[in-house]
Copies of this chain bind each other. A is one copy, B any other.
Amino acid sequence: MKKTESFLTAPPQRAKYEALAGILKALAHPTRLFMVDQLARGGPRCVCELTEMVGADISTVSRHLALLKKEGLVAATKKGTMIYYQLRLPCVVNFLECLHSVLSSNIQDRLKLLS
């Protein structure tokens, strides 16, 4: 008798969700999310500009950007010794809006609990 197929034992389906989760993981960090948001609003920025905006060590910022790039969220372009990063897919912006709506809905619900 065959045991019931589950998410964890179905490799192709599982691989799909692992890939999707990988993309989300790249976004799921305050600094990276901030940078993505900046790129969405202000267009391409070089590492040094982003470093200035973030206020962390440049090596840290570089690592964050490498991860975003690895997951296909940003693309890099060389200009002299500088490297400009830009957002790769526009839908990420709506994404952020939905996120905002989750957040404000959470806050509203918590407000309701008080009254």
Contacts and interface: CB of A to CB of B under 8 A. Distances in A.
Contacts of A8: 31, 54-56
A98 B89 CA distance: 9
A4 interface: yes
A contacts with B: majority SS: helix
Contact of A91 (B17, B88, B98): B98
Interface in A69-114: 71-73, 88-89, 91-92, 94-103, 105-106, 109
Chain A interface: which size bin?
35 or more
A63 interface: no
A47 B72 CA distance: 34
B91 A53 contact: no
B103 A89 contact: no
Given A30-B21, A72-B106, A99-B20, A6 B94 contact: no
Q: Which 6 A-B pairs have the closest CB atoms?
A: A6-B55, A24-B28, A72-B106, A91-B98, A8-B55, A25-B28
